[in-house]
Amino acid sequence: MTELFARPSAHLRQRLATEPVLESWNAGSHPDQARLRAYLDEVAAQIGVESWIEDEPRTIELIVGLPDPLPLDSGGRDLDNYLFPVARRLGANRVAAAFGRKVHQQGSTIAIGAAVPAEEAATPALLTVRTSVSTGSPAWKQAIHQACRDAVAEPLPPGLVALQVVFGVSRHRNWTTLWKPAIDALGPMLGMPNPAKPYQPNDDRIVDLALHRHIDDTLHHDVTITAWWQPVTV
């Protein structure tokens, strides 16, 4: 069975003073980038990242609180795009697992915990694939997309989704840069609004996301993807 990391304990959650900010792909001088940098500096200061031991891996959990009128499963508020900039600011090598949730509540929280194994072993995976091509190439996404298509007969019914992914990588790879392209390749499970754009799935319907790193230096440049998913009822 694949080993998973435990979420940080609930008592470690700290209320964020600033509403979580999504990753921005605008130019560095764009106001969105300035807003993101200010937010990340606030988060880093709040959790005292400068005092962390460099080689001590941690787990992070971000709970994004949204007001009741906003839908949880649409609107482009992708959890990986909330988690990625935080992991980048903390240092990808310091993050063993990242967890995110979207809920209807006032305010958002962040928690940092030790990287300890989850008490329960993982159930058999719904998708497993090993890639040997460059992770920056179209063929990498295509391999994951095809593995997902082979694993499911049709997308999950409309509604909220929980997704858990383990990335098997060598210790020298920045695993956080794999999050978005891997999730973008899961259209056969998440649904694709436009079949002509297979890598733009309905990933904003993911309201519970767990991303784990499994270090395996025998993989060298290869990457393994192991994934589980299920509908969420609220």
62 and 132 in a single domain? The answer is: no
**Higher-scoring residue by pLDDT: 135, 56:** 135
Give the residue numbers spanning the domain of 197: 127-232
Neighbours of 135 (CB within 10 A): 19
Q: What is the pLDDT of residue 229?
A: 97
Q: What is the pLDDT of residue 100?
A: 98
CB 176 within 8 A of CB 131: no
> Over 90: is that where the pLDDT of 16 sits?
yes
The tokens describing 39, both together, are 């937010």
Q: pLDDT of 74-132, one tens digit each?
A: 999 999 999 999 999 999 999 999 999 999 999 999 999 999 999 887 789 999 999 99
- Cβ partners under 8 Å of residue 116, min gap 6: 5, 6, 59
Query: What's the rounded mean pLDDT across residues 169-190?
Result: 97
Neighbours of 152 (CB within 10 A): 15
Q: What is the pLDDT of residue 51?
A: 82
81 and 134 in a single domain? The answer is: no
Q: Residue 50 burial (CB < 10 Å; 0-12/13-18/19+)? A: exposed
Q: Is residue 122 one of the residues assigned to a domain?
A: no
| Bridge partners (DSSP) listed for residue 98 | 60, 211
Q: What is the pLDDT of residue 83?
A: 98
CA angle 101, 7, 113 (to 5 degrees): 115
156 and 212 in a single domain? The answer is: yes
> Over 90: is that where the pLDDT of 208 sits?
yes
Domain boundary (71, 86, 114) is at 114
CB 185 within 8 A of CB 144: yes
Q: What is the pLDDT of residue 203?
A: 96
Domain boundary (59, 88, 114) is at 114
Q: What is the pLDDT of residue 132?
A: 96
**R_g of the chain, CA atoms, integer Å:** 17
Q: How far apart are alpha carbons 179 and 85 in whole angstroms?
A: 12
Q: What is the pLDDT of residue 175?
A: 97
The tokens describing 59, both together, are 């787990």
Helix (H) / strand (E) element for 154: namely: none
